[in-house]
Amino acid sequence: MAFKLNVNGKVLSADVDGDTPLLWVLRDTLGILGPKYGCGVAQCGACTVHIDGAPMRSCAIPVEGLGQSKIVTIEGVGASAVGKKVQQAWSELDVAQCGYCQAGQIMSATALLAEKPKPTDADIDEAMAGNLCRCATYTRIRAAIKLASGQKTEA
């Protein structure tokens, strides 16, 4: 079945089964490789994308339920002012080590700052809890979120 998806501001077509997870449509059909496969059960956050502004795990979302939703991946998040600030902070503080989880981390951080421009540590903990980092760069992730929000950093 053919689906039209609004991804990063472009309408793209994908001829896939309706139950195909969005992650596989993005990566295998559309060639958008930023969202990563981590666990396949929406627990690690590596596949996080924004759907209508909300951070969602693309590995667990069937493409048939998306309709006219606006999907943003790491490739498109820098088009927003908040996304650009988050990406700059990540770079400035050298957050990534291996980098595998960082697209999902940035997507969750951007959604947090879009909703709460000056988050508390508790806000950050809650928003980022579903994003795992095997390299344990959590201290730098928190510092980058604070830097992007204009708050004092400790890293």
b/e per residue 35-55 (b: at least 16 CB within 10 A): bbebeeebebbbbbbbbeeeb
Q: Is the pLDDT of residue 23 over 80?
A: yes
**Nearest-angstrom CA–CA distance, 54 and 48:** 10
Could you give all domains of the chain from N- to C-terminal order, each with its CATH number? 2-72 (3.10.20.30), 77-149 (1.10.150.120)
The mean pLDDT of 56-60, rounded to a whole number, is 98
For residues 149 and 112, what is the distance between their CA atoms, to the nearest angstrom? 10
pLDDT of residue 152: 78
State the average pLDDT for the chain. 96
Q: Is the pLDDT of residue 144 over 80?
A: yes
pTM: 0.94
Q: What is the mean pLDDT of residues 98-113?
A: 96
> Are the C-beta atoms of residues 132 and 98 closer than 8 Å to each other?
no
Is the per-residue pLDDT at 42 higher than 90? yes
Task: Assess contact for 100 and 109: CB atoms under 8 A.
Answer: no
CB of 58 closer than 8 Å to CB of 35: yes
Which whole number is the average pLDDT over 63-76? 97
**What is the average per-residue pLDDT within 43-55?**
97
Distance from C-alpha of 27 to C-alpha of 32, rounded to nearest angstrom: 5
Reported confidence tier of residue 154, pLDDT bands at 50, 70, 90: low
